[in-house]
């Protein structure tokens, strides 16, 4: 399995599972982040979890192309930038996330978006496999 193909499968499955979790368990996600944001080091935790995944995706899937594969590269860049920003400026997460926690339904909205993006990549991968 080539590195770009592996990265695409990883992103597709991760987004679908993570998104479904946000759709099905928005209260738990809201509670997790509400409690985490009470800590000064919350940005370090999220950055430490996000940056390595973003970097791994970019190393395996560095190129831009038209269509669903660009979602994989975009996710890699997004997670890399987010992780780096939160690690370099941990208090940034409080400014970014706190306003969303006042609206728990946003967890479901984010989850739906993740399932949609992951599903697009997954359908594209399955179409390639069947072709």
What are the residue ranges spanned by the domains of the chain?
3-125
Q: What is the pLDDT of residue 53?
A: 97
Question: Does the pTM of the predicted model rise above 0.85?
Answer: yes
CA 40 to each of CA 48, 54, 87, 88, 108: distance values in angstroms, whole numbers, following the listed order: 14, 23, 12, 13, 26
The model's pLDDT over 74-114, given as tens digits with 9 standing for 90+, comes to 999 999 999 999 999 999 999 999 888 888 889 999 999 99
- Split at pLDDT 50, 70, 90, the class of 11 is very high
**Is there a contact between 90 and 30 (Cβ–Cβ < 8 Å)?**
no
For residue 130, pLDDT over 90 is answered with no
């Amino acid at each position: 399995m080539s590195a770009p193909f592996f990265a695409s499968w990883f992103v597709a499955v991760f987004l679908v599972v993570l998104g479904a979790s946000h759709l099905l368990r928005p209260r738990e996600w809201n509670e997790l982040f509400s409690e985490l944001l009470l800590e000064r080091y919350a940005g370090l935790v999220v950055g430490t979890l996000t940056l390595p995944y973003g970097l791994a995706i970019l190393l395996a899937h560095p190129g831009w192309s038209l269509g669903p594969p660009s979602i994989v590269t975009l996710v890699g860049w997004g997670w890399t930038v987010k992780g780096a920003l939160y690690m370099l400026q941990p208090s940034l997460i409080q400014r970014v996330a706190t306003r969303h926690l006042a609206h728990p339904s946003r967890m479901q909205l984010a989850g739906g978006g993740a399932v949609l993006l992951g599903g697009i990549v997954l359908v594209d991968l399955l179409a390639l496999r069947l072709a």
